[in-house]
Structure 1
Amino acid sequence: MRMNLYSAEILGSHGTMMAYVTAPTTRAAIDFIKDHEKTSRRRVTRISVTRVDDQMPEQESGGLGQLLRHGPTGFASRHPTIGWFIHGQVHPEVQLFSVQRDRAQPRFVLAPNADVAMAIEFWSKPTEAPQTKYAKVALATSLTDRQKHEIEELIEFGVIGMLAWDEKRGWSVT
């Protein structure tokens, strides 16, 4: 069954959230959101959805066609490096991963799981960088107190991507 991509605004006891949903129809998208919010035990006062896949600029549609042809109903996100993917929550629960290849410096990635972390890290490297077959992926634990404090907000909002730390500005996500 062919899916469509909807932009959703969900207003409820938890505030207003924006999300993308893949579903075959507008009604199915709304029902999916209602079921998710009911399961999460959150009260929803308003849901509005707008179909957006037919208006998506080509440069933002990476992998979307395949996802809509073969993917399930669910929440969707787009990362500029790896394209569109489906996840089970409005904002996927993310973790901070440290990815280290050979003897290189570890690179930090926010992702819902190790597979997505590896994909983001792999595709974010310059093409001239040497490719290795082995990478160590682990939950990052060697952060300073300031880094830990500042990363909590990014984790709370489900931001996904490569991280860079700057002493003056803090974390930035690409």
Structure 2
Amino acid sequence: MELYEVKIVRPNRLVSGYIAAPGEQRASEIILDREIALNQEAEGFSLKRVDESLPRSRRKGLDALLEYAPAGFASYCEPLGWLGHVVPAQQLRFFRIEEATGESHFVIATTGDLAAAVYCDCSPLGEGEHRMFRIHDGFEGLTSEGRRNLPALLDAGPIGLIEWDDEHGWSTKEM
């Protein structure tokens, strides 16, 4: 398998993501199948093979992804590494992790279980520490303004923690 960076041109935005596939032809088919399954409208797309040119810092989990994951969309998530989207047409979801202390964290993931795994791996505990949290639908209580940039993140990822910025809206959280 090979890893491709995909850029999909939508009527109102550019979407970027990654696809693991045995070749460029199959990567193109995955994009078209996903567009049909999710009833999305694309004006075009481009593919670029990137598995051979990724920097060492972005290779964690890449060999396992290319060897064992089914062909389909993928995301890079610090500190987990590369993750395959389980089903090619599976919609990414927006979750809010609420700690017992009241602090909230936001995650893009395919399921609540994966959102919990991302949150726990990105927020390590010290020895003897514990944390209680609940997982909620991230859209609950959001205003229209509070949804800025979410459609682009939910379109093709990446899976991982995201954060709000008053100037730009939602974006991936730097680790």
The two structures share one fold, judged by TM-score above 0.5: yes
**TM-score relative to the length of structure 2:** 0.73
What is the aligned counterpart of 2:56 among 55, 58, 71? Answer: 58
Which amino acid in structure 1 is aligned with residue 98 of structure 2?
V
Taking every aligned residue pair, what percent have the same amino acid on both sides? Answer: 24
Paired residue secondary structure (2:148): helix
**37-46 vs 23-32, which deviates more?**
37-46
Q: Which has the higher contact order (CA 8 A, sep 6+)?
A: 2
Paired residue secondary structure (1:37): helix
Which amino acid in structure 1 is aligned with residue 101 of structure 2?
A
Q: Does residue 151 in structure 1 map to residue 149 in structure 2? A: no
**62-71 vs 80-89, which deviates more?**
80-89
* 1:104 CA displacement: 3.0
Counterpart for residue 137 of structure 2: 139
Supply the distance in 1 between the matched residues of 2:23 and 2:15 (Cα, whole angstroms).
20
Q: 1:71 to 1:16 in 2, by over 3 A?
A: same
Supply the distance in 2 between the matched residues of 1:11 and 1:170 (Cα, whole angstroms).
20
Does structure 2 conserve the Cα–Cα contact (< 8 Å) formed by 1:99 and 1:108?
A: yes
Which amino acid in structure 2 is aligned with residue 151 of structure 1?
G
What is the aligned counterpart of 1:109 among 106, 112, 115? Answer: 106
Supply the distance in 1 between the matched residues of 2:166 and 2:16 (Cα, whole angstroms).
31
Q: Does residue 84 in structure 1 map to residue 79 in structure 2? A: no
Supply the distance in 1 between the matched residues of 2:161 and 2:72 (Cα, whole angstroms).
24
* 1:152 CA displacement: 1.2
Paired residue secondary structure (2:76): strand
Q: 1:168 to 1:31 in 2, by over 3 A?
A: closer
Does structure 1 conserve the Cα–Cα contact (< 8 Å) formed by 2:6 and 2:17?
A: yes
Supply the distance in 1 between the matched residues of 2:166 and 2:43 (Cα, whole angstroms).
42
**TM-score relative to the length of structure 1:** 0.73
Per-residue deviation, residues 3-56 of structure 1 (Å, max 9, x unmatched): 210012233556543221110111111111122223334455533211101111
Q: 1:142 to 1:23 in 2, by over 3 A?
A: closer
What is the aligned counterpart of 2:31 among 22, 30, 33? Answer: 33
Max Rg structure: 1
Q: Does residue 97 in structure 1 map to residue 92 in structure 2? A: no
Which amino acid in structure 1 is aligned with residue 161 of structure 2?
M
* 1:57 CA displacement: 0.8
* 1:167 CA displacement: 8.1
Paired residue secondary structure (2:161): strand
Structure 1: any 5+ residue segments left out of the alignment?
A: none
